[in-house]
Structure 1
């Protein structure tokens, strides 16, 4: 009976992690560039009451008798499907059509990556994120510039008073990874590379490395599917209730055994 109590408790703990993940996905359903997550489970160690393959007789072997000791949440997978685009008509709002991430320099000098393309200008005219982190490569836009435009291939241009031609202010670059799902989430719409993701491969939008192109005046929404998350929430609740019922039944059986001992 004791084994059943702990096994069911592990199931409840795993479903709690599952529900926590669903709650985070739903909370960020309106967060630009957010990538939803899914919990991956794995079974735990098995107790061999009869070892599989052990001899049952001279000519036969045992199929084995193993009792599992529950489950645990092993990992969370980042879902990298693309979110819908929301038109803002802001020239500094940029969405990535396809693969790739914007490169961001954090205050401590480390690099981070994001799909949230809501950019602004700081007091020096440099393109930054909503938190003030610099977009790389760093591009400055003069204060008197007008008609700022970002092409599908990352070229930033604007009209500068006194210049007859449109000024080319720089070109954006995107980073891609062999395994984007292995990136580490930092919060603030940022990811960081990890041994699982591999090293970043940088290229201009639409380049030969496979990164996508840019869409000016759009922001990529979260890729959270609210209906799917509600289904996952119901499944997690039912699994939690089932494991709770197992604990209740095992407790009743254990109580009856204690009564017999008396």
Structure 2
């Protein structure tokens, strides 16, 4: 009798996580380079010894609820929108900009607004420098980033730009193994051997777009449809728990 409560409870938990994922997507619809979160569901099974002629050594599987994994993302390309700011950068393709993180993990970034850190290196808005460690001269008046990642700077009283570095793009072997850190940042839990690094335009890594910002790949209509589906499933799980309570009440009310 108690099994119906556990099955209903797992459904409530799974659908609740799905609703939270949709809510997070909607909240980040205007976040640059945000990638849509999604949920995968898997069936929970319980193992019981088989009865009858099959023998006690064999095991049968019975449904015991559902489990949700809300950590997955859809890494489809978002629209590139011009910003008019030369310090904005976006990636057109599958690649990521690699940042020099302090925890030893590979930190990847889909782009946003660059800044010049206190140490003079090009960095993300959060202060982490690009892994290419591109030093910007103190007398630089303008920075240009080509589609192939070559970075040049126009110096004061100089007409000819000088090369100051090369941006590379990183492509993880398995996107779903990445951990979302927020603000378009991702981290790989394992070593960097699962990442392919190449010059933009090579190995399908994509190109670099200066003066552009990548929009999120959220579609509000899709999120609203998903929200209604998850809410209906949540209500069904709640009804299952209610039915179990009613059956338990009937059983407790039986008289000999």
Distance 1:140 1:196, change over 3 A: closer
Between Structure 1 and Structure 2, how many residues are aligned?
A: 253
Specify the alignment match of 1:26 in structure 2.
26
Deviations 1:15-72 (A, max 9, x none): 11111211222222121121122111111113558569939xxxxxxxx986411111
Q: 2:206 matched to 1:224?
A: no
Specify the alignment match of 1:234 in structure 2.
228
In the TM superposition, residue 164 of structure 1 has moved relative to its aligned partner by 4.3
Question: Equivalents in 2 of 1:76, 1:52: separation in Å?
Answer: 42
Question: Equivalents in 2 of 1:252, 1:32: separation in Å?
Answer: 49
Q: Tell whether the 8 Å contact from 2:168 to 2:197 is kept in structure 1 after alignment.
A: yes
Aligned counterparts, 1:172-251, within 5 A: 172-195=167-190, 199-207=194-202, 209-251=203-245
Specify the alignment match of 1:150 in structure 2.
145
Stretches of structure 2 lacking an aligned partner (at least 5 in a row)? none
- Which moves more between the two structures, 210-219 or 33-42? 33-42
Distance 1:124 1:65, change over 3 A: closer
Deviations 1:75-97 (A, max 9, x none): 63221101111211111211111
Specify the alignment match of 1:10 in structure 2.
10
In the TM superposition, residue 100 of structure 1 has moved relative to its aligned partner by 0.6
Question: Equivalents in 2 of 1:172, 1:197: separation in Å?
Answer: 17
Stretches of structure 1 lacking an aligned partner (at least 5 in a row)? 56-63
Distance 1:42 1:109, change over 3 A: closer
Q: Tell whether the 8 Å contact from 1:19 to 1:236 is kept in structure 2 after alignment.
A: yes
Compare the two structures and name the one with the higher strand fraction: 2
TM-score where L is the length of structure 1: 0.87
Question: Equivalents in 2 of 1:117, 1:171: separation in Å?
Answer: 18
Q: 2:239 matched to 1:255?
A: no
Aligned counterparts, 1:48-127, within 5 A: 48=48, 54=54, 67-74=62-69, 76-108=71-103, 110-127=105-122
Specify the alignment match of 1:61 in structure 2.
none
TM-score where L is the length of structure 2: 0.89
CA-atom RMSD in angstroms: 2.5
Deviations 1:193-243 (A, max 9, x none): 135996211111112x22001111001122222221111111111111011
Question: Equivalents in 1 of 2:75, 2:119: separation in Å?
Answer: 34
Question: Equivalents in 2 of 1:8, 1:216: separation in Å?
Answer: 51
Distance 1:52 1:188, change over 3 A: farther
In the TM superposition, residue 160 of structure 1 has moved relative to its aligned partner by 1.7
Distance 1:53 1:197, change over 3 A: farther
